[in-house]
């Protein structure tokens, strides 16, 4: 009897102690389990922050990615034995007070993700810079659950299940610790040190080399678009890019003089090949590396850069220029930063020249960086920035990692360098003018970087077929982290490694035109590389296959301009995406989960790039021979849940099957989803050459659909004040009726009247055969019109 009473007393005492070990807060709960403090914080009904740290530590962390202020969220707290349950209107999160484990469920108790029991680990680490922890959290996933994200990597697969990925910023590798589930949720591991993602039979884990706390966010979106919307709600929305940036860009490493740069633009105009952007890569400052990246013109081959920019502008082309985050010792900016102790301690490229990286974590350093850019370059009329090496390039060792920055040791925050550096340029340019939108393309990124007008590219990749294929899952996984703008060097950067003959080798021609076809359907279409020039006229003349294929796809890019710009509005206004993994639109079709060579461009166009050589072979005696006598075949999977139209032939095909598509050198498989309204722009030499006053509207029947045509002033921030217009078009498939809704909004220079050339595509007919014909010519003056087809 005494023993029973003792047990009851101990149980009561245990329950009392447990009850005292947590407290409810306005955002969630705080608890102490063993030696660990735990906080659950609702940021919204669908977003929950989980914070864990040793009780001996005081944690007051300010995120470099998260900008959302927690909104007031109603939630209900219940306790079942030693489990606390917090329920919002969207999700249930539970905390086990015995083990400290957290679990997320739907309101129907459907499991999302759960921490593995007692898997929150803090391992003491002592470095010269002081004490820290290696931190780890392991999660349990459903066996068949597909996971995506983690940034941009070159492994060549989509699904991250069963994989290990090192998350450290490097040239060609972009670390974004966001994992995105096909079940409609994401987890952001908010840590800036080198991190390992690993998924095995033991569970899915994040392990970071340094941190004072485990800090992650669970975001529930129901589907992929909703999940990306939650990521952007937490870390920032993506601003609009200028219309011209969706056009074709020409670049090389590098134009050696202002005459060569401007001469390239003139050549494109003489040929009548569309062009909107030209890029000046490095060494416009000097060829002496002690003057590396002076952030000002100093090379005598560029005697009058302001005149150069004006000459290019007169040809309706825009200019971008390369700026690095590191500076040679004989530059004014290096001396200025060094005097203020605003340089980091490690050697960087070009090595052994005293070149140092600035402390981008320091707002004073970011301001100095921008002041030089503004005074010496932006004031010339420069239109865009190529922020190269924003990893930044470094020689990682203990001394480097122990080095101090404004926000702590470099070990603690190195992965966040790109977001603070790029963010400083964006924020400071916005202070200078609202008349020119910020456009940055950058070699690295971190979670939240979409809010800074940044378009990342995949770095200095090789010119190889295998590398081309790897770019597809690299870009798609990057986009699934909530950062919608991404591109590659068309043709690959290092051409000389695989093609020593460069532009003279027709094997390189085949790779290049296939890469350019892929680039047509990425957010930025940009030709660039080293070892060989890539201007279209380097490949021959009209009538030569390599020239003609490029011209065909560059013109197609401009025809898609209304579609792309409207998709850009959807990105900004509705947290949309431009490059879409197939699981985003066809999550109910498990066959798409691992497809790594196809994607949706916007919500209507299925793209299957050709990523194998088909027509050029090397003979036994070393000669290269092209044989186009017979079209080769590309396999294509058409996702289940839609019917599809072959863009080139108009043939209608049922989804849910793999097909074989002929892929001659000028064709890549393109399929339009049944239930599509596709605007088709006029033939132009640059993006703003013609108004969209005589716009083709093609309807692919088979399902109800809608499309919102977006227009504004093209290159200022007035759209943020609501100065833009939208025209919503709705297709009713049963009644075969197109409703063009009343125009919403207005802006200076807006078309008061326009003609829509509306065509219902019959099976077996393609856009290319109908661009000069139309079923209906509709004069639209802003009022709703119903068109019976």
Q: Classify strands 454-457 and 440-442 as parallel, antiparallel or unpaired.
A: parallel
Distant-in-sequence, close-in-space partners of 331: CB < 8 Å, separation ≥ 6 = 285, 291, 292, 293, 294, 295
Degrees, nearest 5: CA angle 84-90-95: 20
Q: How far is residue 396's CA from residue 364's CA, in Å, rounded to a whole number?
A: 25
Contact 136, 119 (CB under 8 A): yes
Residue 188 · residue 65 · CB < 8 Å: yes
End-to-end CA distance of the chain: 88
Are the C-beta atoms of 87 and 109 separated by less than 8 Å?
A: no
Measured distance CA(769)–CA(669) in Å, rounded: 17
Catalytic residue among 391, 535, 548, 643: 391
Residue 169: how many other CB atoms lie within 10 Å: 25
What single string gives the DSSP state of each residue in 119-133? --EEEEEEETTEEEE
Work out the burial of residue 554: count CB atoms within 10 Å of its CB; fewer than 13 is exposed, 13-18 middle, 19 or more buried: buried
Q: Is 460 a catalytic residue?
A: yes
| Residue with token string 């990124």 | 445
Strand 248-250 vs strand 525-527: parallel, antiparallel, or unpaired? parallel
Please state at what angle helix 545-559 crosses helix 561-574, rounded to 10 degrees. 50
For residue 720, how many other CB atoms are within 10 A of its CB? 12
Dist. CA 17–CA 13, nearest whole Å: 6
CB atoms within 10 A of CB 435: 10
Which residue in the block uniquely carries the two structure tokens 């005293």?
354
Which among 420, 468, 427, 473 has a CA at the least distance from the CA of 442?
A: 420
Token digits of residue 510:
């085949």
* Residue tagged active-site, from 388, 412, 505, 643: 388
| Listed residue (649, 648, 563) closest to 600, CA to CA | 563
From the CB of residue 753, how many other CB atoms can be counted at a distance below 10 Å? 9
Q: Residue 521 corresponds to which tokens in the numbers above? A: 């359907």
Q: Give me the count of residues in the chain.
A: 789
Q: What does DSSP assign to residue 127?
A: E
- Which DSSP helix (H) or strand (E) runs through 422? helix 417-432
**Cα within 13 Å of Cα(66), Cβ side:** 25
Going by DSSP bridges, is the β-strand pair 356-357/694-700 parallel, antiparallel, or unpaired? unpaired
Residues paired with 707 in a beta bridge: 729
Say if residues 358 and 326 touch (Cβ distance below 8 Å).
yes
For residue 391, indicate whether it is catalytic.
yes
Active-site residue identified among 276, 460, 535, 570 = 460
Sequence-ordered strand ranges (E) for 489-581? 525-527, 579-580
DSSP 569-634: HHHHHH---SEE-HHHH-TT-GGGTT--S-EEETTTEEE----S--SEEE-TTS-EEE--SS--EE
Place of tokens 């390992």: 196
| 551, 273 Cβ separation under 8 angstroms | yes
Say if residue 206 is exposed, middle or buried (CB neighbours under 10 Å; 0-12, 13-18, 19+): buried
Q: Is 627 a residue of the active site? A: no
- Phi and psi angles of residue 780, each rounded to the nearest 5 degrees, phi first: -110, 125
Which helix H or strand E contains 309, and what residues bound it?
helix 305-314
Active site residues: 388, 391, 460
């Amino acid at each position: 009897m005494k023993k029973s009473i003792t047990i009851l007393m101990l149980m009561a005492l245990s329950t009392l102690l447990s009850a005292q070990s947590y407290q409810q807060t306005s955002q969630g709960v705080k608890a102490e389990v063993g030696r660990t403090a735990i906080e659950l914080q609702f940021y919204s009904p669908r977003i929950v922050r989980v914070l864990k740290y040793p009780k001996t530590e005081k944690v007051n962390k300010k995120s470099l990615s998260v900008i959302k202020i927690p909104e007031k969220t109603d939630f209900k707290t219940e306790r079942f034995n030693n489990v606390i349950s917090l329920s919002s209107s969207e999700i249930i999160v539970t905390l086990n007070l015995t083990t400290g484990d957290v679990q997320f469920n739907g309101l129907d108790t459907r499991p999302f993700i759960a921490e593995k029991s007692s898997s929150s680990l803090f391992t003491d680490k002592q470095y010269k810079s002081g004490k820290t922890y290696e931190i780890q959290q392991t999660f349990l996933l459903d066996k068949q659950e597909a996971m995506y994200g983690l940034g941009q990597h070159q492994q060549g697969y989509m699904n991250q299940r069963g994989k290990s990925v090192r998350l450290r910023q490097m040239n060609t590798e972009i670390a974004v610790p966001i994992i995105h589930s096909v079940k409609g949720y994401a987890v952001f591991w908010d840590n800036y040190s080198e991190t390992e993602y690993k998924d095995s039979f033991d569970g899915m884990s994040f392990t970071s080399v340094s941190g004072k706390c485990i800090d992650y966010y669970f975001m529930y979106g129901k589907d992929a678009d909703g999940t990306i919307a939650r990521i952007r709600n937490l870390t920032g929305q993506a601003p609009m890019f200028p219309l011209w940036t969706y056009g074709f860009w020409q670049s090389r490493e590098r134009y050696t003089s202002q005459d060569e740069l401007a001469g390239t633009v003139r050549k494109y105009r003489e040929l009548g090949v569309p062009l909107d952007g030209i890029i000046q890569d490095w060494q416009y400052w000097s060829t002496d590396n002690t003057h590396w990246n002076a952030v000002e013109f100093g090379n005598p081959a560029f005697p009058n850069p302001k005149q150069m920019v004006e000459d290019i502008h007169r040809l309706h082309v825009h200019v971008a220029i390369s700026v690095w985050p590191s500076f040679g010792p004989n530059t004014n900016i290096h001396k200025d930063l060094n005097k203020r102790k605003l340089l980091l301690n490690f050697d960087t490229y070009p090595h052994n020249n005293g070149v140092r990286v600035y402390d981008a974590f320091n707002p004073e350093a970011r301001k100095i960086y921008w002041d030089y850019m503004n005074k010496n370059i932006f004031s010339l009329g420069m239109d865009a920035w190529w922020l190269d090496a924003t990893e930044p390039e470094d020689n990682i060792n203990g001394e480097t990692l122990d080095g101090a920055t404004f926000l702590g040791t470099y070990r603690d925050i190195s992965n966040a360098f790109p977001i603070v550096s790029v963010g400083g340029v964006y924020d400071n340019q916005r202070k200078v003018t609202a008349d020119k939108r910020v456009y940055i393309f950058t070699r690295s990124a971190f979670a939240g970087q979409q809010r800074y007008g940044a378009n990342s590219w995949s770095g200095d990749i090789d010119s190889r077929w295998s590398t081309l294929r790897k770019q597809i899952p690299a870009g798609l996984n990057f986009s699934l982290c909530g950062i919608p703008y991404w591109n590659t060097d068309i043709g690959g950067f290092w051409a000389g490694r695989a093609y020593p003959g460069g532009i003279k080798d027709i094997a390189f021609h085949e790779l290049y035109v296939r890469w350019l076809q892929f680039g047509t359907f990425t957010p930025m279409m940009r030709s660039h590389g080293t070892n060989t020039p890539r201007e279209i006229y380097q490949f021959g003349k009209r009538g030569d296959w390599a020239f003609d294929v490029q011209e065909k796809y560059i013109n197609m890019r401009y025809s898609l301009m209304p579609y792309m710009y409207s998709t850009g509005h959807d990105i900004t206004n509705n947290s949309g995406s431009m490059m879409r993994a197939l699981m985003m639109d066809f999550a109910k079709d498990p066959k798409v989960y691992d497809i790594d060579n196809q994607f949706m461009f916007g919500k209507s166009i299925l793209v299957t790039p050709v990523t194998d050589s088909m027509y050029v072979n090397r003979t036994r005696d070393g000669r290269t021979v092209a044989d186009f006598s017979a079209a080769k075949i590309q396999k294509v999977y058409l996702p289940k849940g839609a019917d599809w139209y072959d863009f080139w032939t108009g043939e209608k095909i049922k989804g849910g099957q793999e097909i074989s598509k002929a892929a001659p050198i000028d064709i890549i498989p393109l399929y339009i989803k049944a239930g599509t309204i596709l605007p088709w722009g006029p033939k132009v030499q640059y993006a703003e050459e013609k108004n969209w006053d005589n716009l083709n509207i093609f309807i692919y029947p088979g399902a109800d659909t809608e499309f919102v045509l977006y227009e504004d002033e093209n290159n200022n921030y007035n759209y943020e004040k609501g100065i833009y217009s939208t025209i919503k078009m709705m297709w009713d498939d049963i009644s075969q009726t197109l409703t063009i809704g009343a125009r919403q909004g207005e802006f200076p220079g807006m078309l008061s009247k326009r003609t829509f050339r509306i065509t219902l595509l019959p099976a077996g007919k393609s856009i290319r055969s109908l661009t000069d014909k139309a079923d209906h010519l509709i004069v639209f003056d802003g009022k709703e019109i119903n068109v019976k087809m």
